[in-house]
Structure 1
Amino acid sequence: MILFFVLLLVLVGFALQKWMIVHGLQGVQSTYRPEENIVDAGEVFFILIEIENRCKWPIPYVKVKMYFDGDIQVMESALRFAKESGQGGGSVETSVWMRPGQQVELKIPVKISGRGRYVLSHPNLFGGDFLGLCETRREVAIFREVIAAPKSLPEQKIQELMGSFLGDISVRRYLYEDPLMTAGYREYTGREPMKQIDWKQSAHSRTLMVKEYDHTVEPVLTVLLNIETDYSGTDYRQKERNLEVCYCLARSVCEELENKGIKYVFCTNGKQAGAAGDFHMVREGLGHRHFLKILECLGRGLYEAAFSREKLLEFAKGELSKGVVLITPFREDFEQCLEFRHLQQEIGENLLLLYGCEIDGGEDCDLDARS
């Protein structure tokens, strides 16, 4: 009788072993995502892994393992295994016991040192068998990416570069006419555009009359970031450094406009890593969501131009009377550009040129970017 009972236990054990090997992760659902899709380079953020047991029975063993390459640094509090070099990367793993219907959220603190687009590796789930002899593995195959935005230049530096220019813009905000608010009419002088002529008033007065508008429209600036350069030197690291400073400079300029409450348009001709469609321009706006779109554009930016600097200048034509901030790596980039000369003639003092080669970003703009 005892022998029969022992044999029964052995058979039940082998049956459970076989079932657990096949169904060890059945009913276990998992997903993962970065805490934020757009982060600041050098700042700590979390990778969130969510696990749910949808079975009606407990699962005694579920292990999660996720690998990070050298570009993503795992904080020591979560690091189980690091590369021998100790320069970032490594894998994080942990195991949990789950009740029926239980949900578990794991937080992995990580940091990205340089600007760029980073695709996360897929975490793996491991389910144990009844006897603990082997594991069942399943990959959580969901595409996730993180965009690391460029760092900002020191606030004092950007105020020195833009102080007088923004001061003039603020004064001129009352000099722009609002075409939706008619204040009156006056005689046509020949300097006004034809579309401004009011033909009904002209017929009444038997002379050409134009509308006078109220002056209440706030200025809208255009921020242009040029990546195409004619740099012919052999020091390519210096070229890349100047390009990286330009990305930092573009972020700092947009931040300053946000702080001043000045609406702006942003456009760059830099290629966008992993972007679908036309991702080179962010339309007129202001506020946190508008700024996040620009940070994503700057974070995805590469060191190659998607189109020419001449085409980039075309985006400024609609805002010539408002002001243009043009950021470029070297002073020589637009010396032979005919479109740039036309822009200078038309916009005059409303044009601010900023050169990456003349900005000392120091540690704020390094060459750790993935471009």
Structure 2
Amino acid sequence: MFIWLFILILLGIYINFLSKKNAFKKLFYSIKFSKEIVEIGEEFEIISIIENKKIYPITYLNISQEYPEEFEFIEGNNFKGAYKTKMSVLPFQRVKRSFKVSCLKRGRYILKNAEITCGDLFGFETMTQFYESFAEIVVLPKSYSLKKLTPYGSYTGDISVKRWIIEDPLVNIGIKEYTGREPLKQIHWPSSLKHQKIMVKEYDFTTDNNLLIALNIETCKPFWQKIDGDAIERCISITRSLVDEFESLKVPYGLISNAQNFLNSTLYRPGLGLNHRLKILESLGRIDYSIFCPFEDIIKTKNSIKNTTIVVITPIILDEYVSPINNLIKFYQKVVLITLNTNNIGKVAKQIEIYFEGE
């Protein structure tokens, strides 16, 4: 009897030794998001998978995974930046867990390495190992109410995106009733006499008509000295709203920016459609507060595409921007400037349509 007990003890010690030695052997961990791109506040899932592909069970397993502080766990699961879960895993078992989450801020978020701790068969000792993992999600910028923008100088009334689009008087698509906003030269007198009310010619946008948005995220010189993150976020949101407006109007648009991680160099080409819009919005979601060159260099560069309108969006008009912005009227039929304050606004050429944030 004593011999069998001794054999069982030895066998248990040996199995426990093997469980420690092979704790992380054929143990796999992965994590992913249920969506790649989401809006602010949109619900998505974080899915973690642990898989034990060996004949030994893992009686104690602890996973510690860090999460961005901007993540808000739904259903009361607030992990304060790190989530820890404990479990036991049987031989050849695959455990999948998911959590519903939303994100409160625009940006690119990455989940990286996890810390996994395993215990031996009898719970006497623990071993820890880091597992490499990678999951990425992009949170798009929120929309901005363009009604918050106030026209400057001789321009009056609410902001009108349609006014930035150049109409071609050679493309007449019909006749419509006069609303009071059309110039007198558009009145069609024969139709006015026929209908006994003022009628005007209605024009459509030409296929050559397109817009370029130039987004600046530089708020001072040098850029890193005083970064105004709130102003940059508002400019990004304004850009998103304009993209949605141009898409709804079916007018081709493109985007350039001096953001460091604005890596899609083809977005300056005018385009339309859900795919083009999503690529631009995703790029806006990925932007951080670093720049790869001063903004004045961006707008000095001659674009190979002949855009009819350029819309400049900047948190502030620095002294270095004034001359390059004024020179834009030489290359575009219409130049629109949107800024968040009135710094240097009086130095901008009168031909440029200006909007600023405020009363």
Per the TM superposition, whether the score is higher than 0.5 is yes
- 1:293 is aligned to 2:279: yes
* Match of residue 122 from structure 1: 113
| Residues 17 and 129, structure 1, Cα contact 8 Å, conserved in 2 | yes
Alignment partner of 1:224: what SS?
Answer: strand
* Secondary structure of the structure 2 residue equivalent to 1:245: helix
Question: 1:152 aligns to what SS in structure 2?
Answer: coil
- Please tell me the residue identity of whatever aligns with 1:343: L
Counterpart residue identity of residue 291, structure 1: R
| Structure 1 residues 221 and 321, CA gap change in structure 2 (3 angstroms) | closer
> Is 1:164 aligned to 2:154, yes or no?
no
State the distance in 2 between where 1:106 and 1:170 align.
54
Paired residue for 2:293, among 293, 307, 328?
307
Residue 254 (structure 1) aligned with residue 243 (structure 2): yes
SS in structure 2 opposite 1:297?
Answer: helix
CA distance in 2, matches of 1:316, 1:44: 42
Give the deviation of 1:126 after TM superposition: 3.0
Please report how far the alpha carbon of residue 335 of structure 1 lies from its aligned counterpart in structure 2 after TM superposition.
6.0
Q: 1:165 to 1:118 in 2, by over 3 A?
A: closer
Which residue of 1 is the match for residue 95 of structure 2?
Answer: 104
TM-score, L = length of structure 2? 0.70
Partners of 2:39 and 2:140 within 8 A in 1: yes
Superposed CA deviations along residues 265-294 of structure 1, whole A, max 9, x for unmatched, are 11101222xx7xx44652433334333332
User: 1:352 is matched with which residue?
Assistant: 336
What is the deviation of 1:10?
Answer: 0.8
Distance 2:144 2:328 in 1: 27
How far apart, in 1, do the equivalents of 2:289 and 2:319 lie? 15
Look up the equivalent residue of 1:227 and give its one-letter code. Answer: I
Please report how far the alpha carbon of residue 240 of structure 1 lies from its aligned counterpart in structure 2 after TM superposition: 3.6
CA deviation after TM superposition for structure 1 residue 320, in Å = 4.4
| RMSD value, Cα | 3.7
2:8 corresponds in structure 1 to: 9
Consecutive unaligned residues in structure 1, runs of 5 or more: 83-87, 176-214, 361-371
Equivalent residues of 1:48, 1:108 under 8 A apart: yes
Take 1:299 and 1:240, find their aligned partners in 2: how far apart are those partners? 14
Is contact 2:247-2:272 (8 Å) kept? yes
Partner AA of 2:17 in structure 1: K
Question: Are residues 96 and 224 of structure 1, via their aligned partners in 2, closer, same or farther at CA, if it must alter by over 3 Å?
Answer: farther
CA–CA separation in structure 2 for the residues paired with 1:59 and 1:41: 39
The answer to whether structure 1 residue 227 and structure 2 residue 217 are counterparts is yes
**How far does residue 11 in structure 1 lie from its aligned partner after superposition?**
1.0
Query: Where does residue 90 of structure 1 map in the other structure?
Result: 82
The SS at the match of 1:25 is: coil
Structure 1 pair 342/154, CA: closer, same or farther in 2 (3 Å)?
closer
Q: Residues 287 and 217 from structure 1, CA distance in 2 versus in 1: closer, same or farther, beyond 3 angstroms?
A: closer
Counterpart Cα distance in 1 of 2:120 and 2:167: 74
**Alpha carbons 1:51, 1:104 under 8 Å: kept:** yes
Amino acid at match of 1:305: I
Cα distance change, pair 110–340 in 1 and its aligned pair in 2 (3 A):
same
Q: Which 5+ residue runs of structure 2 have no aligned equivalent?
A: 152-156, 172-204, 342-355
User: Quick one: distance in 2 between partners of 1:94 and 1:130?
Assistant: 15
Q: Percent identity?
A: 24
The residue identity in structure 2 corresponding to 1:225 is L
Give the C-alpha shift of residue 12 in structure 1.
1.2
Q: CA deviation at 1:113?
A: 2.6
Letter in 2 for 1:353: L
Which residue type is aligned with residue 332 of structure 2?
Answer: I
Partner residue in 2 for 1:22: 21
The aligned amino acid for 1:222 is: L
Alignment match, 1:198: none
State how many pairs are aligned.
304
* Partner deviation per Cα, 1:295-333 (whole Å, 9 max, x = no partner): 333233333432133332245644445221211112556
Residues 16-74 of structure 1 deviation map (CA, whole Å, 9 limit, x = unaligned) = 11111111232222212233344334434322212223235655554332123534444
CA–CA separation in structure 1 for the residues paired with 2:126 and 2:239: 50
1:68–1:120: 8 Å Cα contact kept in structure 2? Answer: yes
Contact 2:29/2:50, CA 8 A, preserved across alignment: yes
- Give the structure with the higher percent helix: 1
SS at match of 2:289: strand
Q: Work out whether 1:148 is the aligned partner of 2:139.
A: yes
Partner of 1:252, secondary structure, is helix
The Cα shift of 1:359 comes to 3.1
Match in the other structure for 1:113: 104
